[in-house]
Each structure stands twice: as structure tokens, then as C-alpha cells.
């Protein structure tokens, strides 16, 4: 892309290189449309205004990313737990995509260092800024490089962070299976 060529030849200021490199590190590949990721990281507390007065922030991307995450996690769980019933799969998915987990994952992958938000909003312990930013980030990945790459990002970047939680879930499912067999 033009942006990566400019970076290669050092034409961009450090100010622009820094977020690009951080986002590239999180993604594991160079983003094609950096504007999407910057929008994904702009919290509503720091909205800009479009020419027609509409707020510019990550809320629409968050909506898209939330839906994508639910679909991708559902797909992965469906394939991983072949004998699980619908209720069990729903319970597992809700544990994986709940607000607390999403906030923790957002911090673990480094979005907390990139989110553009008012200081007060980002320090609030009950805030979901980083989880919302992660969902918006997934929406940006999808719009930037498509569903397959978004699926790979969730599979290879987020799912490994679920390891401890996955083990607990599998243990719980095994106890349920043992009880049912008994």
C-alpha cells in the first residue's frame, strides 16, 4: 500500500508511524486503511464532528465488531465442542464475550495505549472503553481486510488469550458430561 511504501522510505512523521506500527504489531499484518483503525480507537467522549454535524467515533464499528465477534466465537465453539447442546454453547460464548473479558483482552493486546478518550472516561473502573474499542477494532479489521482475516485474527490473536478460561470451560463441560453419563 501507499502508506507502507511511505513508511519504508521514511517520508511520514514519527507521529503517524507510531500508531501504524502499534496497530501492525497488534494485527500481525500491515493495515491497508489506517483511518478505519484510528476511528475504531476514538471513543465517544472524544468524538469529532462531520461536515453535516454527525459525531465521528467508534460506536458504529463497535456495533459491527460485536456482531462479528459473536458469529466467529459461535463458529469456533460449534466446531470445538461437537457434542455440546445449544444452551451449553450459549453459556460458554457469553463467558468469552462478556464485557469484563473484552476489557481485559483489549488491554492485553495493547489497545489501552492507543484509545483516544477523555482521561476521566478511561480511568473509570466500570468503563467498557477497552472492550468497546476491541469490538470496534474487529469491525475495522473486517472492513479493511475481510471476514477470513478477521476470523484468523480472532483465532490466532484473541483465542490464545482465552486459554485459562477455555480450560475452565472444558472442565465444566467434562463434569456435566460425566454427570450425564452417570
Residues annotated as part of the active site: 66, 135
Contacts of 145 (CB under 8 A, 6+ apart): 29, 31, 32
> For residue 126, what is its C-alpha cell?
466500570
CB-CB contact of 77 with 154 (8 Å) = no
User: What is the C-alpha separation between 136 and 66, in angstroms, rounded?
Assistant: 8
Helices (H), 28-58: 34-40
Q: How many Cβ atoms are within 10 Å of 27's Cβ, its own excluded?
A: 19
Determine which helix (DSSP H) or strand (DSSP E) holds 48, and give its type and residue range. Answer: strand 48-49
Amino acid at each position: 500500500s501507499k502508506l507502507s511504501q511511505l513508511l519504508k522510505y521514511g517520508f511520514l512523521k514519527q507521529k503517524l508511524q507510531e500508531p501504524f506500527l502499534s496497530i501492525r504489531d497488534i494485527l500481525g499484518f500491515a493495515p491497508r486503511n489506517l483511518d478505519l483503525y484510528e476511528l475504531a480507537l476514538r471513543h465517544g467522549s472524544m468524538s469529532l464532528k462531520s461536515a453535516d454535524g454527525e459525531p465521528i467515533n467508534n460506536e458504529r464499528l463497535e456495533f459491527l465488531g460485536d456482531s462479528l465477534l459473536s458469529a466467529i466465537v459461535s463458529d469456533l465453539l460449534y466446531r470445538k465442542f461437537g457434542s455440546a447442546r445449544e444452551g451449553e454453547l450459549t453459556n460458554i460464548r457469553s463467558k468469552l464475550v462478556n464485557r469484563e473479558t473484552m476489557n481485559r483482552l483489549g488491554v492485553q493486546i495493547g489497545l489501552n495505549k492507543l484509545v483516544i478518550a477523555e482521561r476521566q472516561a478511561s480511568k473509570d473502573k466500570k468503563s467498557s472503553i477497552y472492550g468497546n474499542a476491541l469490538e470496534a477494532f474487529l469491525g475495522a479489521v473486517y472492513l479493511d481486510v475481510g471476514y477470513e482475516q478477521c476470523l484468523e485474527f480472532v483465532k490466532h490473536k484473541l483465542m490464545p488469550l482465552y486459554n485459562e478460561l477455555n480450560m475452565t470451560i472444558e472442565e465444566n463441560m467434562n463434569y456435566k458430561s460425566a454427570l450425564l453419563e452417570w
